[in-house]
């Protein structure tokens, strides 16, 4: 893991990878996490970007050409990478995946015809997937303020090895086919997933390193200390639906005193 902080480069901008895939103006981003990860976000004021080859999906981060070859092979999660053919594919594209880092968020948005906030609610499926104990939380942030914080941080980026930054909704397809846009195939590969992952309804921010500068770090911590106070007024934090009252009271007091965050109880009744 590394911190972005060395020598100044010219303004680094984050761009929407496909303007045709609209993000609604009222969009919210949610991140379900343990207390340790929440602490990194609200105390250390960092956003974690995971390297694409470290995700559970064996096809994560691979370009269309590699996915097409793999989908034709009789492989499973257990056997992938054990044959010479699989190993050749991994070796051929591994550099691409190791040069891409993603921060993944659950997305809710209302369509233009909706007049209420019916879609902006917690996901029980996401609690079950990403909350490893009742001492877990979800952070809810409007999309635009978070995009601004990341954009402003990247504008001040100090790491010369980063050369691209993108964001966008994940496109879910039964047989992933990368969208034909001017961006490079490698860049787009982190924004298309198999339809079996559709329940995650992801929006991702992706940082790209040049392959020659890619190291062996598992992830990157993006420093948002300068941007955090402005972002704080938009942040909501909810406790796990099954958190005991005594634990909630302890965290509620701690968050208010240390971070000026009003911890809220989960709205789910389970």
- 237 band by pLDDT with thresholds 50, 70 and 90: very high
Q: Structural domain boundaries of the chain?
A: 2-55+99-264
pLDDT class of 90 with cuts at 50, 70, 90: low
* Residue 194: predicted pLDDT: 80
pLDDT at 78: 60
Say whether 98 sits in a helix, a strand or coil.
coil
Predicted confidence at residue 213, as pLDDT, reads: 54
Considering the chain, what is the average pLDDT of its residues?
A: 81
Give the pLDDT band (50/70/90) at residue 111: low
Q: How confident is the model at residue 64 (pLDDT cuts 50, 70, 90)?
A: low
Span of 152-156, 171-175, 223-227, 239-243 with lowest mean pLDDT: 171-175
- Phi then psi for 155, rounded to 5 degrees? -65, -25
| pLDDT-based confidence at residue 269 (cuts at 50, 70, 90) | confident
pTM: 0.84
What tokens does 229 get? 């106070």
Residue matched to tokens 């890619």: 214
pLDDT value of position 84: 55
Sort strands 236-239 and 136-142 into parallel, antiparallel or unpaired. Answer: antiparallel
**Longest Cα separation, the chain:** 57
Residue 248: its H or E element: helix 245-259
Q: Identify which has the larger pLDDT, 79 or 123.
A: 123
Q: Are 79 and 262 in contact (CB under 8 A)?
A: no
Question: What's the pLDDT score for residue 160?
Answer: 64
Beta-carbon contacts of residue 52 (< 8 Å; ≥ 6 apart): 60, 61, 97, 98, 100, 101, 102, 189, 190
Residue 250 scores a pLDDT above 80: yes
Please give the pLDDT value at position 184: 44
The CA distances from residue 247 to 63, 133, 143, 243, in Å, are 45, 12, 29, 7
Least confidently predicted of 117-126, 158-167, 176-185, 223-232: 176-185
């Amino acid at each position: 893991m590394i911190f972005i902080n060395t020598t100044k480069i010219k303004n680094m901008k984050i761009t929407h990878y496909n303007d045709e895939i609209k993000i609604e103006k009222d969009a919210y981003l949610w991140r379900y996490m343990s207390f340790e990860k929440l602490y990194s976000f609200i105390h250390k004021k960092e956003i974690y970007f995971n390297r694409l080859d470290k995700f559970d999906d064996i096809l994560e981060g691979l370009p269309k050409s590699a996915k097409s070859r793999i989908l034709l092979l009789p492989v499973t999660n257990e056997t992938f990478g054990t044959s010479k053919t699989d190993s050749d594919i991994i070796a051929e594209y591994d550099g691409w995946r190791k040069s891409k880092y993603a921060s993944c968020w659950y997305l809710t948005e209302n369509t233009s015809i909706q007049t209420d906030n019916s879609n902006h609610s917690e996901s029980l499926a996401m609690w079950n997937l990403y909350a490893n104990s009742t001492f877990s939380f979800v952070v809810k942030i409007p999309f635009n303020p978070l995009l601004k914080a990341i954009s402003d941080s990247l504008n001040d980026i100090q790491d010369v090895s980063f050369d691209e930054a993108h964001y966008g909704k994940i496109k879910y397809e039964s047989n992933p086919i990368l969208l034909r846009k001017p961006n490079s195939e490698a860049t787009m590969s982190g924004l298309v997933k198999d339809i079996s992952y559709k329940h995650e309804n992801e929006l991702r921010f992706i940082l790209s390193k040049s392959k020659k500068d890619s190291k062996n770090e598992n992830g990157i911590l993006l420093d948002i200390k300068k941007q955090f106070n402005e972002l704080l007024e938009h942040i909501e934090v909810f406790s796990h639906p099954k958190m005991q009252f005594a634990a909630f009271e302890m965290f509620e007091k701690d968050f208010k005193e240390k971070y000026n965050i009003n911890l809220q109880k989960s709205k789910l009744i389970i």
